[in-house]
Amino acid sequence: MPPDKDFYGVLGVPANATPEQIKRAYRKLAKKWHPDANPGDKSSAERFKEISEAHAVLSDPARRKQYDQLRRYGAFDGARTRPGAGGPGRGAGAGSPFEGFNPSDLGGLGGLGDLFSSIFGGRRRGPGGEGAERGESVETMVSIPFRVAALGGKVPISVPVTEACPSCGGSGAAPGSTLSTCAECRGSGTISFGYGGFAVKRPCPACRGRGKVAAQRCGTCQGVGEVRVERRLMINVPPGSDTGTQIRLRGHGPRGTGGAPAGDLLVGLQVEPDRFFRREGLDVHCTVPINVAQAMLGTKLKVRTLDGKHVVLRIPAGTQAGRKFRIRGQGIEKNAARGDQIVEVQVDVPAKLSPEQEAMIKSFADAAGLKY
C-alpha cells in the first residue's frame, strides 16, 4: 500500500486528532501546495490532491469512521493493529494486502466501496485495470461526427446512472413501512466469516449492509434503494479530438452514498468516418474527381473545406490522376498548430463514347502519336 494512502500521515496528524486539528492541518497544507501557489508544478498538484482526498475522508465523521475501521482491519501496512496480524493473511508482494478479501465485495455497501477504491488508488475492477485514477470512475463510449471531432463542439450523450430511489429515498422501504434492526447482523450491516484464523467482514446479505430491514419493500426499487435512470448530458468536444480521446466528467460517475462524492464518468470518443474527409495527423485528405478535359487543359476547382466553406484550387494543364494539391492551413487546428488540406484528384474517364466522339479521340490519338 503506498504510504500516501495513510490519510493521517498525509495531513501529519495523529490518528486520534480532533476535527479542529484536522481542519488546521489541512488548511496549512492546502495553502502551501495549492496549484495556484505552485503554477505548473505537477508534483505539487498531486500532493494537493492527496491532501484534499485525506481531508475529504477525515473531515466527514461517517467516512472517517469507515476509514478507521478499514485501518484497524489491516488494509494498510503500518496501520495493522488487527489481532493476529502476525498470522496468515499478509499478502505477499504486490497483490491485495490481505488474502480472502476483495474490496469489490463491499460494493453493495454504498459508501464503503467508494471509500475502498479511493484508498486503493481507484483500481479498476476486472481484468486489465492498471489505472491509477483516484475515486471510482466508469467509462463509456460515444460516437461523434467527423467534423465535430475536428472542429470541436457540443454533443449530447445519454448515460445510464444509478440514483437513489425517488420513492423511498434510498432506504428500500415502502412509504410508511416500519424499519427494524436487522436480525442477521444485529444492525451492524456486516457479517463476520471465519477465514484462515481471523474474521472477514462482509456486507450483510439480509439488509444489504444497511443494518435495518423494512417490513414492506419499496415497490419502485423492489427494496434495493436504487434505480437506474438515463441521464442526458452535454459534452464539450475539444477541437482536434480523435478516436480514443477521453473526456472526464467529474462527479458524473456512480453516485456516492454516506456523503461520499460521486465518481467520474470517462467518455471515450469514437469518431465516425466522413464521406469526404479523412484525417492523417492534423492534415485532412479528400479526393476530388475531374474529367479528362480538365486534366489535360487545366481548370479551376471549387473545393469544400473543413469549415464548410470553399476555396478555389487551380489545376494546371496536364495534371495526372492521383496528383495531390496542398491547401495550406485548412486542416485541423490543435494546440496552436494547424494542418493542411490535401486534395487528390481522380480523373474520370468517360465510360461510353458515341461513334462521333470515338472518331474524334482516334484522330486526337493519331495527331499525338498515341498507340491504341
- Residues forming the site for Zn ion (CB under 5 A): 165, 167-168, 182, 184-185, 204, 206-207, 218, 220-221
Shortest gap between Cβ of 210 and Zn ion (angstroms)?
Answer: 7
Shortest gap between Cβ of 173 and Zn ion (angstroms)?
Answer: 8
Shortest gap between Cβ of 150 and Zn ion (angstroms)?
Answer: 45
Nearer CB in complex with Zn ion: 184/283: 184
Nearer CB in complex with Zn ion: 162/220: 220
Query: Who contacts 156 (Cβ-Cβ below 8 Å, separation ≥6)?
Result: 232, 233, 234, 235
| DSSP summary character for residue 281 | T
Question: Which residue shows C-alpha cell 486528532?
Answer: 17
Residues of 196-217 as b/e, b for ≥16 C-beta within 10 angstroms? eebebbbbbeebbbbbbbbeeb
DSSP string, 26-37: HHHHHHHH-TTT
Query: Who contacts 247 (Cβ-Cβ below 8 Å, separation ≥6)?
Result: 235, 236, 237, 238, 266, 267, 269
> 3-class DSSP state for residue 168?
coil
Q: Measured between alpha carbons, how far is residue 342 from residues 287, 318, 326, 338, 360 in Å?
A: 8, 19, 5, 13, 35
Burial class of 82 by CB neighbour count within 10 A (0 to 12, 13 to 18, 19+): middle
Nearer CB in complex with Zn ion: 184/333: 184
CA distance 282 to 336: 11
Shortest gap between Cβ of 220 and Zn ion (angstroms)?
Answer: 4
Shortest gap between Cβ of 254 and Zn ion (angstroms)?
Answer: 17
Nearer CB in complex with Zn ion: 85/183: 183
Nearer CB in complex with Zn ion: 175/268: 175
Nearer CB in complex with Zn ion: 168/284: 168
Shortest gap between Cβ of 271 and Zn ion (angstroms)?
Answer: 40
Shortest gap between Cβ of 61 and Zn ion (angstroms)?
Answer: 22
Nearer CB in complex with Zn ion: 105/274: 105
Residue 121: closest CA among 30, 261, 1, 29: 1
Question: Which residue shows C-alpha cell 481548370?
Answer: 299
